[in-house]
Structure 1
Amino acid sequence: MNKKLSIIIVALVAIVVFGFQYLNHTGPFADINSEQNGDTYTVKRVVDGDTIIVSKAGKEDERVRLIGVDTPETVKPNTPVQPYGKEASDFTKKHLTNQTVRLEYDREKTDRYGRTLAYVWLGDDMFNVMLAKEGLARAKFYAPNDKYRILIEQAQKEAQKKQLNIWER
C-alpha cells in the first residue's frame, strides 16, 4: 500500500470515529454544556413558531429561541404576518403548549437579546427538526451554535422535496 493511500484510510477512520462520537454525544464532544443539557421545563406560552416561554418551579419564566430554525414572522413589530407564519405558530402551540420539554444548549446559551437559545426536546423528538420537516421553518444557524445543523438541514431538504408548506410551488 502506498503512503498516500495509508494517509487517506487513517483520515477516513478518524472522520468516522469522531463523527460517531459527535452524533452519540460521547468522546471529546460530550462535554459541550453537558451540565446544562437536561433541564426540563413546562412550556407556558408560545410566542411564535420559533420562540416559546418556559417555566420551572422556583425560577423566573424564560424566553427560549429555538436554535437552527427560522419560522415566518407573526409578531415582529412593523412586519406583516408572513405566509405560513400562523401555521408555524399554530403547529408549535399544538405540540408544545403545557408540555414538559427538555432544553439542550449549544456553545452559546443566550443571544444578544437575552433569549435562551436551545434545542427543544419533546420526549425523544427534537422539535426544531419537527418544524423543518413539516416545511414550517427554514434551517438557519448562527455560529458557533450548529451542533445539529446536519439533522435540521436534512429535515428541510425532505420538506423541500415534498414541497411542504413554505416550500410549496
Structure 2
Amino acid sequence: MDKKLSFIIVAIIAIGVLGFQYINQSGPFSEAKPDANGETYTVKRVIDGDTIIVGKSGQEDERVRLIGVDTPETVKPNTPVQPYGKEASDFTKKHLTNQQVTLEYDKEKTDRYGRTLAYVWLDDEMFNVVLAKEGLARAKFYAPNDKYRSLIEQAQKEAQDKQLNIWER
C-alpha cells in the first residue's frame, strides 16, 4: 500500500511539473519570441497605426497589415480621422520608420486587399502587442489568424485597466 501511494504522489508531482512547464513555454504565460522562419525587412513608410510599407534589397516593397490589432482610422477614404488615430500613427512612425523588423506570418499570409498579414517584431518585442499595451489599438482578429490572440488581448486588458489613450474615460 505504501509503495502504491508513493507512486501516485510521484506521478501527480511529475504531471504537475510537466504541466507547469508546458504552460510556461506555450501557454498564456509564455514570453513570445519571433518565429525563427520570419523575414527581416526595413520599414520604409508608415501608412497609419496598423499598416506599414516594408522593403528588402532586390524586392518590391510590401504593404503590411499588423495582425490582431486595429488602430483608429487616419487615412481611410470617406472616414474622418478618429480619436487617437493620429497618436497611433505617430507612435508607429516614431518606433518603426527606417527600423529593421522581422515579419512573422500566421495561417494566411495575405488579406483580400492583397496586403501582407504579419506580426511585426522590433528586436525581441512584438509591435502588435506594444500598440495594444499602449492603448493605441483594439485587439481584433479574423480567423484563422489568431496565434497570439491571448497575448494581444492581455495587453489590451492592461491598457483598459490603466485607462490608456483609447480606453480613457
Q: State if a TM-score over 0.5 links the two structures.
A: yes
Cα 1:153/1:61, change in 2 over 3 Å = same
CA contact (8 A) 2:38 2:105 kept: no
Q: Which residue does the alignment assign to 2:10? A: none
Look up the SS of the partner of 2:112 in the other structure: coil
Take 1:128 and 1:163, find their aligned partners in 2: how far apart are those partners? Answer: 18
Unaligned 5+ segments in structure 1 are 2-8, 26-33
Q: Deviations over 1:66-90 (max 9, x none)?
A: 0000000000000000000000000
* TM-score where L is the length of structure 2: 0.82
1:161 and 1:18 mapped to 2: Cα distance?
A: 28
Number of residue-to-residue matches in the alignment: 154
1:58 is aligned with what amino acid?
G
Residues 122-157 of structure 1 show CA distances to partners (whole Å, capped at 9, x for unaligned) of: 001100000000000000000111111111000000
Q: Which residue of 2 aligns with 1:93?
A: 93
- Deviation (angstroms), 1:18: 5.5
SS of 2:128 mapped into structure 1: helix
- Verify: 1:109 aligned to 2:113, yes or no: no
Cα shift at 1:53: 0.1
Q: TM-score scaled by structure 1?
A: 0.82
Contact conserved, 2:100 with 2:122, CA < 8 A, in 1? yes
User: What is the correspondence of 1:114-133 to structure 2 with a 5 Å cutoff?
Assistant: 114-133=114-133
Where does structure 1 differ by over 2 angstroms across 4 or more consecutive aligned residues?
11-25
Which of 1 and 2 has greater Rg? Answer: 2
Cα 1:15/1:73, change in 2 over 3 Å: farther
Q: CA deviation at 1:22?
A: 3.4
Deviation at 1:38, TM superposition (A): 1.9
1:91-129 Cα shifts (integer Å, max 9, x gaps): 000000000000000011110101000000000110000
Aligned to 1:65: 65
CA distance in structure 1 between the partners assigned to 2:130 and 2:101 by the alignment: 14
Distance 1:12 1:57, change over 3 A: same
Superposition deviation, residue 15 in structure 1: 6.7
